[in-house]
Structure 1
Amino acid sequence: MAESKSLSMGGITCDLCYEQTKQFCNSCQVNLCDDCVRKHRGELRPLSHDIVPFLDRELRLVPPPCQEHPGQRCQAHCQQCQTPVCTACVTGPHGGHCTVGLTKIFEEIKQKIKNDTREIEDRIIQYYLEKEVETENTISKVMEEIKEVEHEKDEQRRIWHQEVDSIFDKIDSLYQDLTGMKLSPLRTQQAKIRSIILDLTKRVQQNKDILKSNTFPVDNQRISKSIQYRFPPENGTMKMPSFKVQTIGGDDLSIELGDFKAKLTQHSLTGLSLKANTVPITTRRRMDKVTVIASISVRYSFLHSIACVGTDEAWIRGENKYITRVDILGSSKETVRTLGLYRPSGISVTNLGELVYSDNKMRTVYIVRCGAIERLIKTPDEYYPEEVCCTRSGDILVHMRSTVAIKLIVKRRNKIVRYHDLKMTQEIKNDEHGNLLLKEGLGPLFMTENINGDICISDTNAQVVVAVDKCGNVQFRYEGKSYGKQEAFSPGYIVTDSLGEVILTDRDNDCLHILDQNGQFLMIVNDCGLERPYGLSVDSKGRLWVALPDSREIKVIQYLTAV
């Protein structure tokens, strides 16, 4: 395959430096200046090199070096072992095997790449582009259904007046849970489709680069990329439950959303007697004896936080910069590298399944959307964000701490701030009498929103759990329950479930405490091998995910059962 010798060398530079090329290595197909000839021979010793003047060069296949015999280049391809071989291999370990010339194999590989590239460009990429549009349309349809349900809900709430707020608080909780359950899988599938499109586009470019080159590909067994993407899974059916309102006999007004039902009965013309004939949001009750259904091993040196997303997955964080999404089988599904230099301070998940995390060094709360990290909230000067919580109602709660020196005494003040549509709408730091509600100190505050709108706070500095309503009035205080181990009460992470019950970890006593929504003690969970539990979250099936940092594992606990 000799090339015309009349081709000028002007503008052609050495492949090893920027000098004008004068020589050419036919063996390696490399342009060289006079000074780099020796360097080229030295770097690829002991392979032979056919160095000729540039105008006398020949364009030919570059055979790979033999892995078994240093200094030899492969001249053939062993069909039995599917590997390039040199002449010494043919008379040695590959003796008697059927071999063919490398040029023939190279042409077959190039033809395969051409066919693969054509299929990716003409069919597969187009198919995924159509699927992406289809998924986006499905998301838009679901969003429209959600908006219609929300509009109808708001109209009925106005009609039913303030007396039925408790009913609609439960409807809000179910509505937010359903929104996350419906949109989260669609957004996950959309992100995967976009990732596949980028991967296929990158493969097309790589294939084109190989087709332009005469260098034998080292790993030709993994070149094809189209097969694994030819038959992607179909979209699942995503349908919101209907929102129904019905007047019965002119006296009763009933309302339904999924499994939730409520009815108003009019007893006289002078007013409505509100008869809360409600069915619980979930037809579940607490089990007499809980069950561990999964134990998940993790690699984090200290497992801090868990934030469930959907049914069988959760985000987790430890002492490093990474936040990882794992499933109930222990498989790592996705990892996010945070923007700061240190570990994130807290994590949570929105109703749409989007990851939110705080960075106290950067004084910022971030959100992760389709793999991209965006700044969500910048805390005020002198305040640093610690733990975060995304509420059922769509708000974000942020624990903030400030450090103030007064007469050489350092005070670390804590407060919880509620953000609605990224605007600060509430500060929780004093009770209704103006007294300090949250104790000063370095300990974190863990918080959650209950179905009745109360904010339940686990204050690790005061070793107490306190709940406040939407106006900041204290609803209850819980200081622990004496039992078995008798260590001091050490409340940690806290969650609420669809029944309105409050669950929190007690690290020093190796257990969980369960309270009703009024702060009354219900039970202790201490028979599941919960050694120094720390992080805690609840998934959409009502199962508890408990982090055990000492043993580097997560236990998934079933404590609710169908009625």
Structure 2
Amino acid sequence: MKKSGTLMIKMSDHMDPHFSAQDVLRCNLCEIAVPPLYCDFCQIHLCKACVGEHLSDESTEHNVSLYRTRVSATKYPKCSKHLHKQCELHCEQCDIPTCVQCVSSGEHLGHKQVNIEKILETKKETLQIDLQELENSIYPKCQEIASDIPSQKALLVENSKDFTTTLNKQREIWYNEIDIIIKNLKSEFDEIESKDTMALNSQEDHITRLIDEVTQSIACVKKLLASNDISLVFEYKSRNAEFRKLPPKLVYSLPKFMPQRINSERINELFGHLEAASTNSEEEHCNTVDPSGAISSPPNKPLINEPRVIKDIDTDYGESDGLYSVSCLSDDDVWTRGQDNMMRLYSLQGDLIKSIQTNSKTRPQDIAVSSDGELVYTDPKDRTVNIVKNTKVQAVITLEGWRPLGVCSTSSGDLLIVVNSDDRKQTKVVRYFGSTPKVSIQYHAKNQPLYSSFGIKYISENRNLDICVSDYTASAVIVVNQDGLFRFKYTGPSSTTKGSFDPVGIATDSQSLILTADCGNHCIHIIDQDGQFLRYIDNCDLNYPYGLCMDTEDNLIVADNGSGKVKKIQYYIK
């Protein structure tokens, strides 16, 4: 117990209501069992012998009555300025509890005061909505994902048995000549199975932790709903937005052994092959419950027939300066960079908010906005990646033998950097956590370079965690998964003549579509997450479009190099 003056609050008074029945009520001052009295203002139990001592504390008001006949009173917060007063009002302008003396003193002159119990009711309505979503949507979805994992594990085991049986039958026909092939295929299969099992185990651990957290949140919300302690209710911070983004549900295309008829001249080729397994993530989202009780699901947005410019602002970049990169700080403000050594922050009303000069006083190569809302830029001259905190430039990565080109900030808070060797013969993508390199991506599975050895390159992370690089020299967009395994190479739609595709800026949206600026053809390509061409944006008076980024509403922001303008383009139906 914790004692303050004559007020002692037992932890049992705040225990989960499902378990409080196991505790015997005791006087909060002397521990006598089953005290008959209760102070509504102090919210403590009292025996008859202790009432006098409790009432002698004149620092606060008291209202003692029989516990069995009491009417639960609201526990008002104490005023921070008038310690002996309770806050029974709430100032709407200041958004704080106030007491009558605060109001009468003129401190909140002209401000609207509301009965604080009305605020409590509003807060509890919000709590009730959160509880409804936690119990009816988020928790069942978590359970659904968790219940599906054992069956997928069983499929892996059963598929492993089928694979071994088929493989052994084929081995009886081929005998010793195929032992080496058998070993190679079994090793390949075991690696696939191991990765799939690890992926499922990882997801199982993740969803189990999430279920525990959701369960704790449910208990917390229920406890708050049962409490009249305004301070506790005001301290509540909803985690429902965090919980709504559920882990992806893994969907497997199981590997199968495909036997071939024997042909001694083509034994290696015709023995059979293992179809590559695929593990796709089906994004799971909880339905959102609004205050009216209506339920809505995340939309699958259709593309608009005619994309249109909804903002078109002039900048200070002229023809000699160029306008090469753009990155959203918010839906209203964007960072830009051109050919000079300044990076400029513009509002989408066309106002120049601030300018930052590079430390080297030479032009930056690319810019991005970090997960913390800070400007990041690459500087090939001094081989650094820099973060701007307020107006101070800090080098967080310094390279040796390599120069940074394109940069993007990932959903996990890492930085993806395209780097080029000093001799301009090698290019790779490196994932950094702070200043620490985590993953280096350079080669195709056949040990061939993924990227051209020099030239302009921009980078973006897709919503499905694929890494997308626009390679101007190779006239291609190269996409690998988060582990660096090659997925596809896009060189323009099939009707486009080879070499006429000039990709520069690249961005991805909430539907995992990939957009890249084709500067030489004055248009933007939209492709899906598997590299299939969907359409052009070529009707928005684009003049050598270069840098691209997305706002939170899936509007495309374009750095239009030829005109020096920043354009906001709507390409989804809203």
Q: TM-score under structure 2 normalisation?
A: 0.50
Query: Which of 372, 393, 396 is the equivalent residue of 1:376?
Result: 396
- Residues 373-425 of structure 1: CA deviation (Å, up to 9, x unaligned): 1121111x211112211112211011111133xxxxxx532111110232101
Separation in structure 2 between the aligned mates of residue 294 and residue 481 of structure 1, nearest angstrom = 29
Separation in structure 2 between the aligned mates of residue 276 and residue 362 of structure 1, nearest angstrom = 41
Separation in structure 2 between the aligned mates of residue 262 and residue 426 of structure 1, nearest angstrom = 22
CA contact (8 A) 1:500 1:516 kept: yes
Separation in structure 1 between the aligned mates of residue 235 and residue 313 of structure 2, nearest angstrom = 29
Residues 1:421 and 2:434 aligned together: yes
The equivalent residue for 1:292 is 309
The equivalent residue for 1:303 is 323
How far off its partner does 1:339 sit? 0.9
- Residues 208-264 of structure 1: CA deviation (Å, up to 9, x unaligned): xxxxxxxxxxxxxxxxxxxxxxxxxxxxx999863289xxxxxxxxx634xx89999
The equivalent residue for 1:342 is 362
How far off its partner does 1:166 sit? 9.8
- Residues 334-363 of structure 1: CA deviation (Å, up to 9, x unaligned): 111221121111110012211001111111
AA paired with 1:465?
V
Query: Which of 413, 426, 438 is the equivalent residue of 1:394?
Result: 413
Residues 1:547 and 2:564 aligned together: no
AA paired with 2:422?
T
CA contact (8 A) 1:486 1:509 kept: no
Closer/same/farther in 2, CA of residues 427 and 333 from structure 1, 3 Å limit: same
Separation in structure 1 between the aligned mates of residue 432 and residue 325 of structure 2, nearest angstrom = 21
Residue aligned with 1:412, SS: coil
Closer/same/farther in 2, CA of residues 458 and 275 from structure 1, 3 Å limit: closer
CA contact (8 A) 1:514 1:521 kept: yes
Closer/same/farther in 2, CA of residues 465 and 332 from structure 1, 3 Å limit: same
Residues 1:403 and 2:422 aligned together: yes
Separation in structure 1 between the aligned mates of residue 237 and residue 327 of structure 2, nearest angstrom = 24
CA contact (8 A) 2:457 2:472 kept: yes
Separation in structure 2 between the aligned mates of residue 330 and residue 352 of structure 1, nearest angstrom = 24
Query: Which of 244, 255, 276 is the equivalent residue of 1:256?
Result: 244
Closer/same/farther in 2, CA of residues 241 and 463 from structure 1, 3 Å limit: farther
How far off its partner does 1:484 sit? 8.8
**CA RMSD, Structure 1 to Structure 2 (Å):** 3.7
The equivalent residue for 2:222 is none
How far off its partner does 1:332 sit? 0.7
Determine which structure has greater relative contact order: mean sequence separation of CA pairs < 8 Å that are 6+ residues apart, divided by chain length: 1
Separation in structure 2 between the aligned mates of residue 372 and residue 421 of structure 1, nearest angstrom = 17
Closer/same/farther in 2, CA of residues 468 and 330 from structure 1, 3 Å limit: same
Separation in structure 2 between the aligned mates of residue 505 and residue 168 of structure 1, nearest angstrom = 40
Structure 1 residues 144-293: aligned runs within 5 Å: 162=199, 242-243=239-240, 256-257=244-245, 278=285, 284-293=301-310
Residue aligned with 1:534, SS: strand
Closer/same/farther in 2, CA of residues 370 and 287 from structure 1, 3 Å limit: same
The equivalent residue for 1:78 is none
Residues 1:557 and 2:554 aligned together: no
The equivalent residue for 2:481 is 469
Residues 1:454 and 2:459 aligned together: no
Residue aligned with 2:353, SS: strand
Residues 1:412 and 2:425 aligned together: yes
Residues 1:495 and 2:507 aligned together: yes
Percentage of matched positions with identical amino acids: 30
The equivalent residue for 2:344 is 324
Separation in structure 2 between the aligned mates of residue 430 and residue 261 of structure 1, nearest angstrom = 29
AA paired with 1:535?
G
CA contact (8 A) 1:428 1:472 kept: yes
Residue aligned with 1:508, SS: helix
AA paired with 1:422?
S
How far off its partner does 1:167 sit? 13
Closer/same/farther in 2, CA of residues 366 and 262 from structure 1, 3 Å limit: closer
CA contact (8 A) 1:290 1:558 kept: yes
CA contact (8 A) 1:465 1:479 kept: yes
CA contact (8 A) 1:515 1:523 kept: yes
Separation in structure 2 between the aligned mates of residue 495 and residue 537 of structure 1, nearest angstrom = 5
The equivalent residue for 2:543 is 531
> Unaligned regions of 5+ residues in structure 2, if any?
1-133, 150-198, 207-233, 251-280, 287-296
Q: TM-score under structure 1 normalisation?
A: 0.51
CA contact (8 A) 2:475 2:499 kept: no
Structure 1 ranges of 4+ moved more than 2 A: 156-169, 237-245, 260-264, 274-286, 482-487
- Residues 78-129 of structure 1: CA deviation (Å, up to 9, x unaligned): xxxxxxxxxxxxxxxxxxxxxxxxxxxxxxxxxxxxxxxxxxxxxxxxxxxx
> Unaligned regions of 5+ residues in structure 1, if any?
1-148, 170-236, 246-254, 265-273, 405-410
Closer/same/farther in 2, CA of residues 553 and 241 from structure 1, 3 Å limit: farther
